[in-house]
Structure 1
Amino acid sequence: MSTEFHIRAQDGAEKADGPYALDIGPDRAGWGHSSLRVLQLPPGGGHTFATGDSEWIVLPLSGGCTVAVDGGGPSLTFPLAGRKDVFSGVTDFAYVPRAAEAEITSVDGGRFALAGARCARRLPARHGPASAVPVELRGTGNCSRQVNNFGAAGVFACDKLIAVEVLTPGGNWSSYPPHKHDVCRPGEESELEEIYYFEIAPAHGSAGFGYQRVTPSGNGRGTDVLAEVRSGDAVLIPDGWHGPSIAAPGHDMYYLNVMAGPGEERAWLICDHPDHAWVRGTWPGRPVDPRLPLYDAPYAPEGDPR
């Protein structure tokens, strides 16, 4: 199994540019569209970046910030309240279009994800309020997980970018049954590159860990990954069946999914692994893990499963 698709937090920092703890772009990933940066700012810190040919969502992981687009102004300055950490609640966010300049400043400091995708259209810069983020519970039993659909297709308008957060209680499996989206089959499957970015909740003095599996589907680069993941790690998924994502008992797992692809339609259409698709049929009538949701937030009934 290749290690080129597992970027450990330490390796990400060593290879990142400037203030980024992690910097994954199309060139580094060897694909065409998806990007992810993790920005760390000290109290009173700031960072300015040009969006280039990509659209971006600035998503607080911990702390709050202000995002000013193209010099700011009343309609182009977005204060983000943020959150204590990814396990404490949903957050507001800011959308920054291609061919723009964005300045991120933080009074108290924090960590911020910049999820990006190469795109063709320039959409308006805008604020995404936390109150409008649909929070969904998917699966049942030990396959239960929580999905914050802040940047899902059909929820928030982007040109190419799709992004969601998944929270998995300790001991549970998510991204299960394994699924893929590496070929275009209209109405059935989307072609999407994907980045998983992980954070693990500490417990009893331990930082915790989890596991991520990706198996070849016969398409693309033959991606094959079995990774022990820790906070700050990322896994690149250009193709292949991905899942399960396994949270170690006692340690809740968070991951941010960033997806984009070449298709004209911005859609997340998946195909389950034929050996494991039957698992989904065992869910009806079984209760969702009572630990979910991990925090109080309105959520919709189960929809398309992940």
Structure 2
Amino acid sequence: MEKEEMLKIIKDNIRSQIALDIKDNSKGVSVSSSKVGGNPSVPAGFEWPTYHADWFEEDEYVPLTFFAQFNMEELAQYDKDGIFPKKGMLSFFYCVTDEDLFYGTDPRDKGSARVFYFEDTESLVPAEFPEELSEEFRISEKAVSFKEGTSYPTSEVLFDRYEGFNWDDYHECMEENGFFDDEDYCTQKLLGHADYVQHCAEYYCEMLHRGLDATFPDGQVITKEDEKAMYGEVENWVQLLQIDPGSSEYDDVICVDGNIHFFIKKEDLKALDFEKIQYIAECS
């Protein structure tokens, strides 16, 4: 791969992102507003999501931790590619326990993270925390504001997808064009490229979408043709949200150095079918 081709690939893979500015809040956030933590805004009769792993006690269902909600109308002016719906509320939940960290790569992890879409934001009401949800897993309410930005593909993103990838050429192209000086870099964001800690998260999502196990168990066979086809689908996955759950913005609710990425396929996003999300939790 020539250096000129590398630069073209980088430019062709630039995406828009929405950076999150999360602040402690003493005044309270309105029911219909975007926020991190606190009591989620939900329709009347909403059933708080729970998760049951096959190694839990038979009757043990763990309430998911509420992480954030985003009003689509508030995001519209920052979503310059028009990826999100124009109205409604997106709410993000993930299972936090003292003993287990769910990575999303095992098919049995399905349900340990949920994304809900509520079209009518005017009728939402604050949900009460379930008694079974420990105080330490209730994230305090914080206000959030947004900033439109640019997301450049990382070397990890391109290495997994392009044959003949040259690390030196990538870094030279990024430096010579001022991309490394990008003031838009952030770990808490909507859309944009996933900042991988390890491997291509979208590839893992596609594996899970096809009924495969992304923990790569013994006996699972993936042919070169299958691998090529799955990498070919990477572009069809949209990162809805990337969070650092070990940060102060989320009350250090999970003591890990890494990110949780929530993804959905483009066609499922268009259909507002958030039951089909995948997530990948990574740590170093």
Taking structure 2 as the reference length, what is the TM-score of the superposition? 0.28
Question: Which structure: greater helix fraction?
Answer: 2
Greater relative contact order: 1 or 2 (C-alpha under 8 angstroms, separation 6 or more)? Answer: 2
Question: Which structure: greater strand fraction?
Answer: 1
